[in-house]
Amino acid sequence: MTHTYDHMRRATRQLLTLASFAAMIVARPLTAQDWLRDVRVEQLENGLTVLLAPDARVPHASVELWLPTGTREDPPGRRGLSHLFEHVMAGAPLAVDTAGVRMARPRFADSNAQVRLDYARYFVLTDPGAIDATLAMNAARLRIDQAYITDSVLAINRQIVLNELRNGQTGATQTTAPLARVFATDHPYALPPESEGSLAAVDASMLRAFLRARTAPAGALLVIVGRFDPARVAQRVRVHFAALPAGTPPAAVRVRVAPSPARLERHVLSAAGDAPRYARRFALPPLGDVALEEAELVLRWAAARVARDAGGDVAWSVERTPGALGSTLTLSASLPQRGDVRRLADTVDAFLLRVANGTAGAGGVAQARSAAERALWAGTDRMGFIDSRAEQLAEGLVLAGDARWIATRLRQYREAQPAALARVAAEWLAGRGVEVLVPAAPPRAVQAAQGPAPIALTPSPAVAMDATADATVDTTVLGLRVVLAPLRHVPMIRASLVQGTAVESDTLAPDAFGRWLAARPPRPRRSTVLMLTGNCARADVLPRVASVVAAWPMGDAAPLQPMPPLTPGDSTHSEPGRAQVRLVAEWMVTVQEAQQQVAAELAARQLWQALNLELRTRRGWSYGASFTVDGRAGTAVIRVAAEVQPDKAVDAAAVLRETVARFADGHLAVPAIETLRETLLQAALRDGSTLTGRERQLRADISAGRTARFRDACLAAVSALGPTDIAAARAMLAPPQLRLTIVGDPAVLAKFR
């Protein structure tokens, strides 16, 4: 099955709108958002493709530069060159108005980079007033001086990539089969996994050659999605990009290669950890092929049916990685300790065979369509990095030659019939793919086969926490607490019933909420909270709630559950076979007022940034750090974690303790108050602007005994941030209160005793 086309040339000569798509589905519960009507694609004279999708209702804009430096460009024996290049480019010094970038950076809510099969993407989520800085930075990325790529720069980035590689050798990521096993050996995506040897074979001259050949405007895509003025941004795009020389674009991919389905391969791996894991990966046609969409429906149906038949608490996920020359589709699950991963694998294969021969029944097609639609729309809810609006629109343009691919997918979901699903199961899924099984206990033997322009900063627009004019509602209906957080820029509702620490959640079309609630078993009203985020209105929801919960028992109000105590000191946790050591620093603090919550988040963020600088950037010992602030009943645990190389674990722990002490005693400098204030503001708006993010905030506030307007108080506290808040943050991380847990292989942990 092959298709011939010139996808970029055909796509970039059009001014694309999606008004016809919006009209097509206006009568359906899941309707197109307004921003889809204004999507357009243009091309500058130097060949740079620009995709714009404005939406004034969201708090941020997502700005991305996509380059044709995907992993399929790796030369034989040099697997990982594109990955190294992505890291080098992300950290390269940029010839821009540095004062302008310095002032704009606190307005960046997030930034990241990623390399995939066909492209690499460089991403910034920003306050709309700082978009010009992101444009200047991306333009500078297309004119980086190749002399920057030296042996020392390569060595630092190689160590970071090696840490990522080692980190991926444990946990759920081990269940991903190498592409060399999924695709046939003659396919461009038949890539062996990265290894220390293949990364060591890459030298600086190769990266410099990659830079010269792959970073021309004529082969690049600039994506801007979210809150911005299209006319002004288009003008600033020309200011920063129009004068760049076109360069030589990479050769167009004219043949879409459909991989040949291979017979099922099953591999049993040895891994540390308590939970058995299962994954099955399939090679499918390229993005844009109907079979790819229908295969996703089959797997979503299979996930629900197999979970039911397996008779256990099986957490399933269906993930698709699209490509221009083929795609992968992965079905994966984590089982409870008692689960039998081999029996589960047999159950999956038997179900797919029943679909293929027509004996599985047709009852799951509607549910599969609904699940796939919700998954698609959930991506358009996000302005962030992974599974975001920008990614979905740009993938359609880059990989299928059509920015209207969301409409195509929805239509294919709705038109799919059981007979079509059976054909797909027989052709692509049943009896095929690569399975990786990770039992709870390691098996006895492993069975496996192989010139800057000035940056223009504009005032930040006033944006509420809910990113909508509607206020959050916190009320009671017949004794049941109901919290509504409207997010009108998404077409769905996220519904959650919270009773103590038990939570039942689902993502629904707005008109399905009443049926969902009526199908839930009765709960004691006084000890239950109903949370709704998304496209919901008080006048529509509250009468439906009253009609359902009137039959529920009143019950007694449940007391707040305190967090378990946290004992300061050092401890170790053994995970045999763990490739890296995980350092986990924790503090239990009092958080009852908004100012205390802000101080806790400020403390966690500053320590996280300091550890990333010390362990990842300067020393190259760590894959990266992360932080959380989890609260309940007036207390919270600040948690900062870092994955580090085993041979540097003792030294890294010492650096962590020293960094904590320097922050607590005031010797570790922090940014200016204005910078901290803007950084915390952008993070708060980002975290509260999506369905899952707002639900997570509301759940945390409810479990801590707060009102649903607590985040508004936090925004006010951020606006009034001052020296006393910094002093409070430092006091929270006083070293005597620190609990440090070192997680790793027993041989490494012995060095800490």
Taking only the tens place, the pLDDT of each residue in 201-211 is 999 999 999 99
Q: What percent of the chain has pLDDT over 90?
A: 49
Interatomic CA distance for residues 429 and 284, integer angstroms: 9
H or E, element range at 42: strand 40-43
Region 718-723 average pLDDT: 94
Q: Which residue has the tokens 């009253």?
A: 546
Q: HSE (CB half, 13 Å, CA atoms) of 220?
A: 29
Q: Global pTM?
A: 0.88
Alpha helices in 556-648 (DSSP H): 594-611
Residue 684 located in a structural domain: yes
Output the six-digit token pair for 740.
Answer: 């440090």
**718 assigned to some structural domain:** yes
* Domain-located, residue 391: no
Rounded mean pLDDT of the chain? 85
Q: Counting Cβ atoms within 10 Å, is residue 505 exposed (0-12), middle (13-18) or buried (19+)? A: middle
In a shared domain, residues 236 and 300: no
Q: Which residues 6+ apart lie within 8 Å of 514 measured at CB? A: 544, 547, 548
Q: What is the pLDDT of residue 490?
A: 80
Nearest to 646 by CA among 522, 505, 751: 751
The verdict on 666 and 610 lying in the same domain is yes
Contact 308, 300 (CB under 8 A): no
Does residue 203 share a domain with residue 69? yes
> Do residues 189 and 338 share a domain?
no
695-715, pLDDT tens digit by residue?
988 988 888 888 888 988 999
In a domain, 228, yes or no: yes
444 pLDDT higher than 50: no
Give the domain CATH number at 159: 3.30.830.10
The answer to the question of residue 503 being in a domain is yes
pLDDT digits (tens, 9 = 90+) for 70-89: 999 999 899 999 999 999 99
Contact in structure between 621 and 562 (CB atoms under 8 Å): no
Q: CA angle, corner 521, sides to 515 and 526, nearest 5? A: 105
- Phi/psi of residue 200, nearest 5 degrees: -65, -25
Cross-sheet strand order for the sheet of 569-574: 569-574, 739-744, 581-590, 635-644, 622-632
DSSP strands (E only) in 220-358: 221-226, 255-257, 265-268, 277-284, 315-321, 327-334
The runs of H, that is alpha helices, within 81-195 are 81-91, 98-104, 131-141, 151-167, 179-182
User: What is the tally of structural domains in the chain?
Assistant: 4
pLDDT tens digit sequence for 520-570: 999 999 999 999 998 888 878 889 899 999 999 999 888 877 888 888 999
Q: What is the pLDDT of residue 311?
A: 60
Q: What letter represents residue 74's amino acid?
A: D
Q: Is the pLDDT of residue 729 over 60?
A: yes
Please say whether the beta carbons of 120 and 45 come within 8 A: no
Task: Please check the confidence at residue 394 and state whether its pLDDT lies above 60.
Answer: yes
- Residues 262, 127 share a domain: no
Last residue of a domain, one of 239, 255, 271: 255
Check whether residue 292 and residue 170 sit in a common domain. no
- Does 526 map to a domain? yes
Reduced to 3 states, what is the DSSP secondary structure of residue 580? coil
Judgement on whether residues 247 and 356 belong to the same structural domain of the protein:
no
CA 333 – CA 347 distance, rounded (Å): 13
- The pLDDT assigned to 165 comes to 83
CA distance 142 to 146: 11
Per the structure, the complete domain to which residue 595 belongs is given by 569-752
| Cα within 13 Å of Cα(727), Cβ side | 3
User: Do residues 33 and 182 share a domain?
Assistant: yes
Same-domain status, 584 and 649:
yes
Q: Do 377 and 317 belong together in one domain?
A: yes
Residue pointed to by tokens 């691919």:
405
d(CA 128, CA 302): 42
Residues 539 and 606 in one domain: no
Supply the Cα-derived Rg of the chain in whole angstroms: 26
CA–CA dist 675, 154 (Å, integer): 31
Q: Is residue 308 part of a domain?
A: yes
Instruction: Judge whether 53 and 225 are in contact, CB under 8 Å.
Output: yes
Tell which of 255, 279, 313 closes a domain. 255
CA dist., res. 413 & res. 366, Å (int): 9
C-alpha 63: how far from chain center? 16
The kind and range of the H/E element at 3 are strand 2-4
Are 251 and 358 members of one domain? no
Determine the 3-state secondary structure of 716 from DSSP.
helix
What single DSSP character describes residue 50?
Answer: E
Q: How many Å apart are CA 494 and CA 507, to the nearest integer?
A: 4
Residue 721 lies in a domain: yes
Please provide the DSSP assignment of 362-423 as one string.
STTHHHHHHHHHHHHHHHHH--SSTT-HHHHHHHHHHHHS-TTHHHHHHHHHHH--HHHHHH
